[in-house]
Structure 1
């Protein structure tokens, strides 16, 4: 019985250590994929919001002044959920950098999608439609 309890505690600890939160995605700035857009900060910011909404990622927090949007998707049949941070940085009046960080809610979940490519694709579409 003690071995079973010890095993369950060990498994629980390992599962907790492999989890990520929106705060983890926020702290991961500099670790994501970056792209520069030849448009203003305002247009890029709006395109990022449009992209996340179109992908049905729930925006949990955003701060235009600090230049970040935190979004997530909850648990589905194929995933325990994902956390996405989008960082928007003004480079010049007509150039804006965007960085996307996509993290699995549980590191051991091999089926969780990486949202990076999809977010950039939708930003591109949103900017073309502006």
Structure 2
């Protein structure tokens, strides 16, 4: 019985210690891949919001005044889910900078996708 409790405690620690939240994605701003588009923020923003649903994520919130789009995907057969923060900001000379931070809900999950490439592919196809 003592062994079962010890194993249960160990499993619980593993599951809790590797979890991330939407707040972790927001806090990781500045660490994700980014691209500069030769468009204004007002042109890029609606396309970035559209990209979320187009790639298979669920929109959590889109707040243009804070330059942030939050999205997620829930548990699937291969993943415990992902949290994605997209930062859309004005840049130099009517350009726009887009950064994407994609975090696995559970860091130990090797099958969870990084959504950056899919979102950038969508943005590239619509904005170039």
TM tier relative to shorter chain: over 0.9
Q: Which residue of 1 aligns with 2:71?
A: 71
User: For 1:122 and 1:73, how far apart are their aligned partners in 2?
Assistant: 17
Residue in 1 aligned with 2:37? 37
Q: Separation in 2 of the partners of 1:83 and 1:35? A: 20
CA distance in 2, matches of 1:38, 1:32: 20
In the other structure, the counterpart of 1:111 is 111
Match of 1:120 in 2: 120
Q: Distance in 1 between matches of 2:9 and 2:93?
A: 54
Alpha-carbon offset, residue 14 of structure 1: 1.7
TM-score by length of 1: 0.93
> For the residues of structure 1 that align with 2:123 and 2:95, how far apart are their CA atoms?
14
1:46 matched to which residue of 2? 46
SS state at 2:126 partner: helix
Partners of 1:69 and 1:85 within 8 A in 2? yes
How well do the aligned residues superpose, as a CA RMSD in angstroms? 1.2
2:87 aligned partner:
87
Q: Deviations over 1:27-66 (max 9, x none)?
A: 1101100110010001111111111110121011221111
Name the residue aligned to 1:59: 59
CA-CA distance at 1:117 after TM superposition = 0.6
Equivalent pair of 2:78/2:112 in contact (CA under 8 Å): yes
Counterparts of 2:97 and 2:50 in 1: how far apart (Å)? 17
**Structure 2, unaligned stretches of length 5 or more?**
none
